[in-house]
Amino acid sequence: MNRFETNWARCVARARREGSREETAPFGFAGRVLVALTERNSVDGVGPEIIWQRLTLSSLRWIGVFLVICALFELPHLRGRKALDPAIENTVAQMVWSL
């Protein structure tokens, strides 16, 4: 048997000798597990926070590009605008206020 199997067999025998104890996790166990998981998952100092920041900055760039394109499409229509028929404006206003 290799070293792992020897240690595993020893731990299993010890657990059987101890019998059943309280099966609740100790205080702070979940926090320690999350910290260990974060440390293990961070590769070369790139943790989940850095990844979220990169995704956020990337999406903000694309949103900015999209807004500029929308503004360019709307630019020719800004000068020659006529007011809508008052009946349409009143209907829209009433519908918005009823929501």
Total structural domains in the chain?
1
* 56 Rama sector, left if φ>0, alpha if ψ -120 to 50, beta otherwise: alpha
- Whether 6 maps to a domain, the answer reads no
With the C-alpha atoms ordered 7, 12, 17, 22, is the resulting torsion angle positive or negative? positive
Instruction: Give tens-digit pLDDT for 28-59.
Output: 888 888 888 777 655 556 667 777 777 888 88
- Whether 85 maps to a domain, the answer reads no
Instruction: Give tens-digit pLDDT for 68-87.
Output: 999 998 887 777 667 666 77
- DSSP string spanning 13-46? HHHHHH-----SPPTTHHHHHHHHHHHHH-BTTB
Cα of 23 vs its chain's centroid, Å: 32
Q: Does this model's pTM top 0.85?
A: no
- Whether 25 maps to a domain, the answer reads no
- Whether 33 maps to a domain, the answer reads no
- Whether 64 maps to a domain, the answer reads yes
**Between 78 and 61, whose confidence is greater?**
61
> Which DSSP helix (H) or strand (E) runs through 72?
helix 48-74
Residue numbers of the domain that contains 66: 46-79
